[in-house]
Chains A and B, each alone.
Chain A
Amino acid sequence: MSYGYTGNILDINLSSKKHWVEHPPEDFYRTYWGGRAIGLYYMLCQMKPHIDPLSPDNLLIFAPSVITGTPAPAIPRYTVCAKSPLTGAQGEAEAGGWWGPELKKAGFDAIVIKGSSKIPVYLWIKDGQVEIKDATHLWGKDTGTTQKIIKEELKDDKVRIAQIGPAGENLVHFANIVNELKHFNGRNGLGAVMGSKKLKAIAVRGTKPIELYNKERVSQTTKEITKRVMDNPLSRDLRELGTPAVVRGFYEAGCLPSYNWTTGYFKEGENLTAETYNKTILKGTKGCYACPIRCKRVAEVDEPNLKVDPAYGGPEYETIVSLGSLCGISNLKYIAKANELCNKYTMDTISTGMVIAFAMQCYKEGLLTKKDTGGIELTFGNKEAVLKMIEKIVHREGLGDLLSQGSYLAAQKIGKGSKKFIHQVKGQEIPMHDPRLKTGVGLQYALSDYGADHMKAAHDPFFKDKDSVGIKEMKGLGILEPVSHTDIGEKKVTLFKLLDIYWTVFDILGVCDFGYVPRSVGTMEELLEIICAATGWRTTWFELMQVGERSINMARIFNYREGFTSKDDALPEVFYQDFTGGSLDGQGAINKKDFKKAIRLRYELMGWNPDTGIPTPAKLIELGLDWLIEEVSR
């Protein structure tokens, strides 16, 4: 009898239209647990190196975890994995919402999709039954329309649907996957992989409860965390102001990414704050499965010439900046419209904003002309131009086709020195947190196996003081000493080695960082309690950290065999320069030599070759990955 997990992994071959169910032993689950760890296992075992990410040879894996679907708070997330068309590296993206728990209730721990269909299809999975259905009539439709049609066809309003819109169908390299219209597997272009397989959607419905080892203990811990979450100031802030609350601090400090990262000073920043948001476009808030926080924004605009449909949620911090100040836009209503378009077409808002801001700078510098833009005046601050460019990217028209491949490839094709205007790691555009004020975040940008990501570890400020929550609550990991948020020395490197692994455990288990320490109030001990009560496994943080570290090493090897080297673990040049404008003018540059030293130390701490960053055979043996030694011995 298994608890927490179902013991069923669904394999689907879209080329042959066949499907079957694997029943891995308990040891498999105890080794990989869920999410990216399960995804990477299949990618390393079944995918040949150097395949085209948009070919039938790519795998597409949907994986919640052994604790997804329990009533415990803030554990709604699941991972999608594939080789990324944006980076060419291992790709992954986690999403909240309701789809992951529903897949578990429908009887599966993961879905592994191979091949590709000749015609558009969608999967219908209900209580262990699987059907591949024709989706020809859905191809080309936006996500709202698709969701409505599928729910009507299946005659069940409680069906949960993960799907792609036209951006995924048109193979935009940063297309994403959405569930319930507003919860995204946002980054790495995994929506394009889904589109390349002609897979429009996966509809799931489960009516069976997930078997838990000790349901009462899970419920008791849930009640205790939930009560504290409701009383916690940070949670209240997330509920009332949401992630847009971040805007004010960055704008007032002069580190709000603006005008394609040329400055952190944005004069009209007040227009983008959470307070302005609440007064002008906020319609309400929404939450994910079993989460009391309800941090998600829902925006609505209803003006004669501008309408924003609240069905697609509302812009979060990253979107407000990437489609706002980064493009010189200070009108929240237009940012909400840009967000709605990206969401209904399923296109990552960070990369979308970044490629448009890049094109705006190229236009400003004369590297792109009105002829190139199809007549669009692509100047910073032109809000109508942003909306037009989104349409062009989605439909791959003119300059939009070039930008749809991401800024790295676009700069190569534009040439003329445009490379200095892109800001990316491993081909993925950087998010909207500036590493000059959070050097640990910079380390994570550089070292992330799937390209720059702000959700690769807790951020530095949680560890800056002896009374910081990270120091008070995470001693169990050996985190005892505070480190300044701008430090890039040995203590910072050691801290972020641990945080990287800890956060990877969150990703594997589907835990939202807004529910547990250091970002929130659920403790490490309580998370352990939930896992033990759900699965019946008497686990420890030692075991969990090994699970996290194992998957980091698996990703490292995947990337190594794809040709990535230590040169790819680098920050964009802009962060080695001081801020310009605003309160931080003339300050902040990260010392490049110190940063490189930090990367080298991190390799050593991880048990990797300090010159190449390749895991050593001893490290692989320690983590039970001896089956991968051959990969590093070539």
Chain B
Amino acid sequence: MKIIIKLEGYLKYKYSSNILESNYSKPVTIRQVLEDAKISSADVFFIKVGDLIVKEDYLLTNSNEVKLFPIIGGG
């Protein structure tokens, strides 16, 4: 299954791309996907799969787009 990671905000500068793709042969947690893509969870505030806000332990069982939103401060 194909997992597309969409990086929002400053994440696209930090990880030099706004889209990352990876393929998995079996269900995988978002935590694992982040680890494989070398994305620090410290940079991620919200994770969105479809219309759902999910946590890193969310299990991806089908091809999916995972949106990552950066930490948000004041200003």
Q: Does A464 contact B (CB under 8 A)?
A: yes
8 A Cβ contacts from A249-268 to B: 249-250, 252-254
What residue in chain B is nearest A241 (Cβ atoms)?
B9
A249–B45 Cα distance when bound, in Å, is 9
Residues of B within 8 A of A241 (CB): 9
A467 close to B42 (CB less than 8 A): yes
Residue A461 at the chain B interface, CB threshold 8 Å: yes
Inter-chain residue pair count (beta carbon < 8 A): 86
Is A249 a contact of B73 with CB atoms below 8 Å? no
Task: Produce 1/0 per residue, B61-75, CB < 8 A to A.
Answer: 000000101111111
Is B40 in contact with A467, judged by CB distance below 8 angstroms? yes
- Name the B residues within 8 Å of A459 (CB-CB): 71-74
Q: How many residues of B contact A (CB 8 A)?
A: 23
Question: How far apart sit A469 and B14, CA to CA, in the bound complex (Å)?
Answer: 14
> CA separation between A519 and B71, bound complex, in Å?
10
Knowing A237-B10, A237-B13, A465-B42 are in contact, say whether A584-B53 is a contact too (CB < 8 A).
yes
- Asked, given contacts A249-B46, A465-B41, A583-B53, whether A513 binds B8 with beta carbons under 8 Å apart, the answer is no
* A: contact size bracket: 35 or more
How many Å lie between the Cα of A252 and that of B53 in the bound state? 9
**Cβ contact within 8 Å between B71 and A462:** yes
Q: Which of A212-230 contact B (CB under 8 A)?
A: none
CA distance A467 to B42 in the complex (A): 6
- Indicate whether A441 reaches chain B with its CB closer than 8 angstroms: yes
Asked if B13 and A249 make an inter-chain contact with CB atoms under 8 angstroms apart, the answer reads: no
Main secondary structure of the interface of A (DSSP, over half): loop
A249-B8, A249-B9, A253-B46 given as contacts; is B52 within 8 A of A583 (CB)?
yes
- The answer to whether the Cβ of A286 comes within 8 Å of any Cβ in the partner chain is no
- Name the distance in Å between A436's Cβ and chain B's nearest Cβ: 12
For B67, the chain A residues whose CB sits under 8 A away are: 252
Determine the distance from Cα of A431 to Cα of B46 in the docked complex, in whole angstroms.
Answer: 21
Cα distance, A252 to B74, chains bound together (Å): 18
Query: Does A243 sit within 8 A of B, measured CB to CB?
Result: yes
CB distance from A71 to the nearest CB of B (A): 23
* A485–B70 alpha-carbon span in the complex (Å): 13
Decide: A246 and B75 in contact? CB cutoff 8 A. Answer: yes
A sample of 25 cross-chain residue pairs with beta-carbon separation below 8 angstroms, ordered by A number, consists of: A236-B13, A237-B13, A241-B9, A245-B10, A248-B69, A249-B70, A253-B53, A254-B53, A295-B75, A317-B75, A433-B74, A454-B74, A459-B71, A459-B74, A461-B45, A461-B71, A461-B72, A462-B73, A464-B45, A465-B40, A465-B41, A513-B74, A519-B73, A583-B48, A583-B51
Nearest 5 interchain pairs by C-beta: A237-B10, A461-B71, A233-B13, A465-B42, A467-B42
For the complex with contacts A249-B46, A465-B42, 16 further pairs of A-B residues with Cβ separation under 8 Å are A236-B13, A237-B10, A245-B9, A249-B9, A250-B72, A252-B48, A253-B48, A433-B74, A441-B74, A459-B73, A464-B71, A465-B41, A467-B41, A485-B45, A514-B75, A584-B53
Interface residues of A (CB under 8 A from B): 233-234, 236-238, 241, 243, 245-246, 248-250, 252-254, 295, 316-317, 431, 433, 441, 454-455, 458-459, 461-462, 464-469, 485, 513-514, 518-519, 583-584
